[in-house]
Amino acid sequence: MKKVKAVVLRTAGTNCDEETVYALKVAGAQTKSMHINQILKKENPFLNYQILVIPGGFSYGDDISAGKILANELKYKLYASLKDFVEKGNLVLGICNGFQVLVKSGLLPGITVMEEEQLVTLSGNDSGKFEARWVYLKTGKFKCQNLWTKGMKEIIYLPIAHAEGKFICKNKLLLDKLKKNGQIIFQYVDKEGSLSGYPDNPNGSVFNIAAICNKKGNVMGMMPHPERYINKHHHPRWTRKKLPEEGDGIFLFKNAVDFAEKNLV
């Protein structure tokens, strides 16, 4: 069988590339990390790849606003090849800063393939500061249909680390659309799985939204870091609890690779 190929895009200030590459490799993808300058030089940079990941970090220092400059590079310099990549059903995953890039470039919420204007955003946390903590996430009720969360537990546990993660929609209509389309992939919840406030919802996101995908489902953005919970020793309480060897985060990457293997290579 042909091997799934993934590319992790990095630029000045990207800093979660190493562990994201590792997670993809563990999940079975042949993975390469590439600098944006390298990508921009190529005619058809994403040819032969099935998965594109934009990892976390502070791209260009998050100057202007988080992810904005890299988003503009995608939107204005890579528009054609990205649009083609997404239309062909390939997978795009944005984590943390990558999620910020996806919403600011128009790849998300992706009601159409690439939105002309920005419809949702990730603004400053309600607490007013950068926060690093673990959160419980409920997989959306469309999880069985969704390629990213297929077969996942109802509630998973992942860390967040950001200053700008509060998900906001342009208007209620759009929020309803996201709900209706099943585009809400993860919501912040308490231990028992009910929607709740700070610190369970660490940033004050509307409708506790932690992750969304585009309408088609092949582009996903999330604030929590799945690459930081690959095996049990990443869990904050592994010294006091019996836990499965594999962490909740790895399943997301495995699902992506599985899907790509079956449908894209």
* Residues forming the site for other proteins (CB under 8 A): 12-16, 18-19, 22, 35, 37-38, 56-58, 60-61, 129-134, 159, 161, 225, 227-228, 230, 233-234, 236-237, 239-240
96: annotated active-site residue = yes
| Per annotation, catalytic residue among 19, 73, 96, 131 | 96
> What H or E segment, with its residue span, contains residue 3?
none
Rounded-to-integer distance, Cα 134 and Cα 234, Å: 11
234: annotated active-site residue = no
Kindly tell me which of 61 and 170 has the beta carbon lying closer to other proteins. Answer: 61
Provide the β-strand partners of residue 124.
Answer: 164
Q: Are strands 184-189 and 209-213 parallel, antiparallel or unpaired?
A: antiparallel
CB of 107 to other proteins, least distance (A): 23
Kindly tell me which of 114 and 250 has the beta carbon lying closer to other proteins. Answer: 250
Rounded-to-integer distance, Cα 52 and Cα 225, Å: 16
Kindly tell me which of 88 and 193 has the beta carbon lying closer to other proteins. Answer: 193
CB of 153 to other proteins, least distance (A): 19
C-alpha angle 148-20-79 in degrees, rounded to nearest 5:
70
Place of tokens 């209509």: 173
Which CA distances in Å does 154 have to 60, 164, 185, 222, 230? 36, 26, 11, 17, 18
| Per annotation, catalytic residue among 73, 115, 131, 227 | 227
117: annotated active-site residue = no
CB of 129 to other proteins, least distance (A): 6
Do the Cβ atoms of 102 and 108 come closer than 8 Å?
A: yes
Kindly tell me which of 20 and 50 has the beta carbon lying closer to other proteins. Answer: 20
C-alpha angle 220-226-227 in degrees, rounded to nearest 5:
115
CB of 111 to other proteins, least distance (A): 32
Kindly tell me which of 25 and 179 has the beta carbon lying closer to other proteins. Answer: 25
Do the Cβ atoms of 36 and 9 come closer than 8 Å?
A: yes
Place of tokens 């976390």: 56
Do the Cβ atoms of 17 and 58 come closer than 8 Å?
A: no
CB of 46 to other proteins, least distance (A): 19
Which amino acids are annotated catalytic? 96, 225, 227
